[in-house]
Chain A
Amino acid sequence: MAEHYRVREDEIFFILNEELDYGSLCKYKRYEELSPETLDMLVREAIRFAKGVLEPLHHEGERHGVIFENGSVHLTPGFRDAFKKMGENGWIAVSRDTTYGGMGFPQMMRIVINEYLYGSCLCMNFLSSLTHGAGHLIESFADENLKKIFFPNMYSGRWSGTIALTEPNAGSSLANIKTKAKREGNHFKISGIKQFITYAEHDLTENIIHLLLARIEGAPSGTKGISLFIVPKIWVNEDGTLGEPNDIICAGVEKKMGLHAAPTCLMSFGENNQCKAYLCGQENRGLPHMFQMMNEARVNIGVCSMSIASSAYLNALEYCKTRIQGFDIARRYKEEVPIIYHPDIRRMLLWMKAVTEGLRSLIYTTAYYMDIALEDPDESKRRHYKLLLDFLTPIIKGYGADLCFRVCETAIQCLGGYGYCKDYPLEQYMRDSKIFSIFEGTNGIQALDLLGRKMRIDSGKAYRAFFKEIDLFLKENGHNKNFINEIAIFKDAIKELKRTSDIMIERMDVDPLQSASYSFPLLECYGDIVLSWRLLNMAIISDNLLSKMSDRSGRKAYLYKGKIFQARYFIDVFLPQTIARLKSCIRDGREIAEIPDESF
């Protein structure tokens, strides 16, 4: 079972080329030396690299796990070579600036290639993403000298990075951070405990660079007194040479439900008061700095979710096509049939197909917006797409994470008893993906971020930008005669979404308990509706392409037909339920807020 990861290039290139025309990003000055063909080649090479180098490590990592001995963490032997190759071959910093050792591709490409790198070996690519995230923080906020010291080593994979935020009493609420920093000459001394730190200790790289949040002595309390620091495992002198090991101890690793190959560490910094650190960025601006990384990480969780869900669906599909069991319910065939002939199996497959492809379209589209938001010469356009990106991020993270888990569970169901066994990759997918709804801000926090911040900040600019984009879509496509029914349902859903959202925004001021009680169902409704938006868009494009084809029995024709079937199914079957659920978000019943604690 070495090969577990399944990916369909034609599905990917449909979204990239037919739906988004992503090659058009090369018109921006920053990317003018690139061509659409180069982007296509990067995608294909990323898939080849992922399948060739990372995929074999998925099972090897699960088998080997994490070995913790005398404060050291030993990981799957193959990981070391793979991470080195990721760095040397340029996959860690595909979208980073060439000035700093990056490859200079559009931001979107990092998201796109991450689909294949995560899908092939989730645990391995977390190290790459963390290193990228830590490096990007240094690139954005540290002074020039520190950039020169750290980048070449991090982006080339010689050193890895971590993000050290969580403490035993500061998880979802980072305002409670207690780790201290004391100025000492040109640097700081750190003391404190950090928990749940992924890849904080391991034997894969020469050095580990922790990007850590701590409070400088005398800083204000709460979130406004937190600063960001660079804390190397082996001290890095200002001339770039390595010094003594820093005063950092790995006190333990967690035993987890999934992600068995990636260490989740409990770290003690400065037990002997000798843990040295560099300040990264401005004092007391650590949290805003960190949120740059956090927003990227949240979109990345969406990517993990989509990638694993898609592979789970394709694994289930393959099984259902080949597993012969039972007779056709309509007696169309004399012999027993592959289970894909059974209506209930088809129901599950079609749902999985629709949600995974819809999620991919949503994430790639959002990734495309990232580059418009950064590079378009028109300032108002940049602002609009930045707002959209902000607005869609908690939906991608929260809705995507839950969808992934449900797809894995449904894929297992398709396989019956075999799905529950380790002979197939699905049970591991399901265990591994549970964390997606928990880390980088739980899904509950994503819902509050959407309702409490994104829908309300700057007098609701991001919220309005979202509905403006939907209006634009309906203006262009709302009269399409081939999708009258679907467009009508979609319009109803948008109308109800707007009405419900307006009421809940208002309630957040006058009755926050009641409004927040339904923030998560609201996020799910947004998820269903943005997914429908992308599915409908893909279906309309496909319908148009199909109408121009003379032979409608080839692979491409089936690809296009699939887009139409999945959109009709999802919108006709699920959006009416979403509309009903939206109504329930603004009901008057106050059970959630008022049930006494003692009555639980």
Chain B
Amino acid sequence: MDIIVMIKQVPDTTDIEIDPKTGNLIRSGIEGIINPYDLNAIEASLEIKERIGGSVTVISMGPPQAIDAITEAIGMGVDRGILLTDRAFAGADTLATSFTLGKAVEKLGSYDLILCGYQAIDGDTAQVGPQLAEYLNIPQITSVTKIEKVTENSIIAIRSVEDGYERVFSQLPALLTVKRELNRPRFVRVDRLLSACEEKAPIDIWNAADIGVKAFQVGMRGSMTEVIDVFTPKFKRKGKILKGSSKDVVDKLLSELKENNLI
């Protein structure tokens, strides 16, 4: 079984501090890590490979330093990594990102299963996985918390929904987005990390030309949405003192709470 895992390098938010003056996140000097959901996707791919054989390839789109994320993934046990890096890719929204990833998948050729993290912790959109499945025109199972059965040509997975769980069957190839509950990601093995850091490590670097896309199709120019501003919401407490007899106060309180949809 040939599995592709999409990974993203994100800032380690556990290490992020807020600038007290501007209220913005201080990103300088913050180490990049593999998006935690993507670690679950890597773990799932390795477990499937260990059970039924095959290969695992990770693909990441990002700046050159995102190669560290691929190196770590190889340290965990994946077979090959592809870094999509090009100035033209910068500023991509989720649609342009999924388009770029889709083109890379097409270049790779055959595959049976694509695994993505449910969402990235820096953007929280949860859109790239589903959009990629749409682009490739393959079935998708999102929010997967358990992979029940995998065969050469089908998969049964449990996905979480608002009020419970769904058990879903799909033919392969298919795309899954996975949640943290799915598994406990393994740690890097030092010998594999060493191999991943060697010059002959199985890591390819592809640019826009390599995957056959034009600059206007990807990155900011290929995006349908644009982030105008990023800001920290300002919360202001509103105090209100209700006066009158106990009964009046309670009645007023209840009606205010109802008006504000709080009860």
Interface, chain A (partner B; CB < 8 A): 9-10, 33-35, 37-38, 41-42, 44-45, 48-49, 52-53, 85, 88-91, 94, 103-105, 554-556
Chain B contacts for A104, CB-based, 8 A: 194
Rounded to whole Å, the gap between the CB of A132 and the closest CB of chain B is 13
Do residues A556 and B29 form an inter-chain contact, with CB atoms below 8 A? yes
User: How far apart sit A37 and B29, CA to CA, in the bound complex (Å)?
Assistant: 16
User: How far apart sit A103 and B196, CA to CA, in the bound complex (Å)?
Assistant: 13
User: How far apart sit A48 and B29, CA to CA, in the bound complex (Å)?
Assistant: 18
Chain B contacts for A89, CB-based, 8 A: 187-190
Rounded to whole Å, the gap between the CB of B194 and the closest CB of chain A is 6
Is B106 positioned at the interface, with any CB of A under 8 Å from its CB? no
Give 6 nearest A-B pairs by CB, closest first.
A90-B190, A38-B197, A45-B188, A89-B189, A103-B190, A49-B187
Do residues A555 and B187 form an inter-chain contact, with CB atoms below 8 A? no
**With A33-B198, A554-B28, A554-B29 as contacts: A38 and B193 at CB distance below 8 Å:** yes
Do residues A41 and B189 form an inter-chain contact, with CB atoms below 8 A? no
**With A33-B198, A88-B189, A89-B187 as contacts: A45 and B28 at CB distance below 8 Å:** no
User: How far apart sit A38 and B75, CA to CA, in the bound complex (Å)?
Assistant: 11
Chain B contacts for A88, CB-based, 8 A: 189
User: How far apart sit A91 and B15, CA to CA, in the bound complex (Å)?
Assistant: 25
Rounded to whole Å, the gap between the CB of A34 and the closest CB of chain B is 7
Per-residue interface assignment for chain B, residues 182 to 223, with 1 indicating a CB less than 8 Å from any chain A CB and 0 otherwise: 000001111101100110000000000000000000000000
Between B31, B71, B187, B190, the greatest number of chain A beta carbons within 10 A of the residue's beta carbon is seen for: B190
Chain A contacts for B15, CB-based, 8 A: 9
Residue of A whose beta carbon sits closest to that of B185: A52
Do residues B26 and A554 form an inter-chain contact, with CB atoms below 8 A? yes
Is B68 positioned at the interface, with any CB of A under 8 Å from its CB? yes
Q: Point out the residue from B28, B188, B197 that lies within 8 Å of A34, measured CB to CB.
A: B197
Chain B contacts for A42, CB-based, 8 A: 190, 193
Per-residue interface assignment for chain B, residues 13 to 44, with 1 indicating a CB less than 8 Å from any chain A CB and 0 otherwise: 00101000000001011010000000000000
User: How far apart sit A42 and B194, CA to CA, in the bound complex (Å)?
Assistant: 9
Chain B contacts for A10, CB-based, 8 A: 29
Interface, chain B (partner A; CB < 8 A): 15, 17, 26, 28-29, 31, 68, 71-72, 75, 187-191, 193-194, 197-198
Do residues B194 and A45 form an inter-chain contact, with CB atoms below 8 A? no
User: How far apart sit A49 and B190, CA to CA, in the bound complex (Å)?
Assistant: 11
Residue of B whose beta carbon sits closest to that of A33: B198
Rounded to whole Å, the gap between the CB of A498 and the closest CB of chain B is 41
Do residues B198 and A555 form an inter-chain contact, with CB atoms below 8 A? no
Rounded to whole Å, the gap between the CB of A314 and the closest CB of chain B is 14
Q: Point out the residue from B26, B72, B191 that lies within 8 Å of A45, measured CB to CB.
A: B72
Between B29, B71, B72, the greatest number of chain A beta carbons within 10 A of the residue's beta carbon is seen for: B29
8 residue pairs A–B, Cβ–Cβ below 8 Å: A34-B194, A42-B193, A45-B187, A52-B187, A53-B187, A90-B191, A91-B190, A103-B191
User: How far apart sit A354 and B166, CA to CA, in the bound complex (Å)?
Assistant: 56
Q: Point out the residue from B28, B71, B187, B194 that lies within 8 Å of A85, measured CB to CB.
A: B187
Total number of residue pairs linking A and B with CB closer than 8 Å: 58
Do residues B189 and A555 form an inter-chain contact, with CB atoms below 8 A? no
Rounded to whole Å, the gap between the CB of A48 and the closest CB of chain B is 7
Residue of B whose beta carbon sits closest to that of A35: B197
| Chain A interface, >50% SS class | helix
Do residues B28 and A48 form an inter-chain contact, with CB atoms below 8 A? no
Chain B contacts for A37, CB-based, 8 A: 68, 197
Do residues A38 and B190 form an inter-chain contact, with CB atoms below 8 A? no
Do residues B28 and A103 form an inter-chain contact, with CB atoms below 8 A? no
Rounded to whole Å, the gap between the CB of A46 and the closest CB of chain B is 9
Chain B contacts for A9, CB-based, 8 A: 15, 31
Q: Point out the residue from A41, A85, A555 that lies within 8 Å of B193, measured CB to CB.
A: A41
Residue of A whose beta carbon sits closest to that of B30: A555
Chain B contacts for A44, CB-based, 8 A: 31
**With A37-B197, A41-B197 as contacts: A555 and B28 at CB distance below 8 Å:** yes
Chain B contacts for A105, CB-based, 8 A: 190
User: How far apart sit A391 and B108, CA to CA, in the bound complex (Å)?
Assistant: 58
Do residues B188 and A49 form an inter-chain contact, with CB atoms below 8 A? yes
User: How far apart sit A33 and B193, CA to CA, in the bound complex (Å)?
Assistant: 13
Chain A contacts for B193, CB-based, 8 A: 38, 41-42, 45
Do residues B26 and A41 form an inter-chain contact, with CB atoms below 8 A? no
Chain A contacts for B26, CB-based, 8 A: 554-555
Rounded to whole Å, the gap between the CB of A491 and the closest CB of chain B is 35
Chain B contacts for A41, CB-based, 8 A: 68, 71-72, 75, 193, 197
User: How far apart sit A89 and B190, CA to CA, in the bound complex (Å)?
Assistant: 6
User: How far apart sit A105 and B191, CA to CA, in the bound complex (Å)?
Assistant: 10
Rounded to whole Å, the gap between the CB of B242 and the closest CB of chain A is 28
Rounded to whole Å, the gap between the CB of B12 and the closest CB of chain A is 9
Q: A41-B71, A555-B29, A556-B28 are in contact. List 17 more A-B contacts (CB 8 A).
A: A10-B29, A33-B198, A38-B193, A38-B194, A38-B197, A42-B190, A45-B72, A45-B187, A45-B193, A88-B189, A89-B189, A90-B190, A90-B191, A103-B194, A105-B190, A555-B17, A556-B29
Rounded to whole Å, the gap between the CB of B77 and the closest CB of chain A is 11
**With A554-B26, A555-B17 as contacts: A94 and B190 at CB distance below 8 Å:** yes
Do residues A48 and B187 form an inter-chain contact, with CB atoms below 8 A? yes
Chain A contacts for B189, CB-based, 8 A: 88-90
Residue of A whose beta carbon sits closest to that of B184: A52
Chain B contacts for A556, CB-based, 8 A: 28-29
Chain A contacts for B72, CB-based, 8 A: 41, 45
Residue of A whose beta carbon sits closest to that of B194: A103
Rounded to whole Å, the gap between the CB of B43 and the closest CB of chain A is 12
User: How far apart sit A94 and B26, CA to CA, in the bound complex (Å)?
Assistant: 34
Rounded to whole Å, the gap between the CB of B113 and the closest CB of chain A is 26
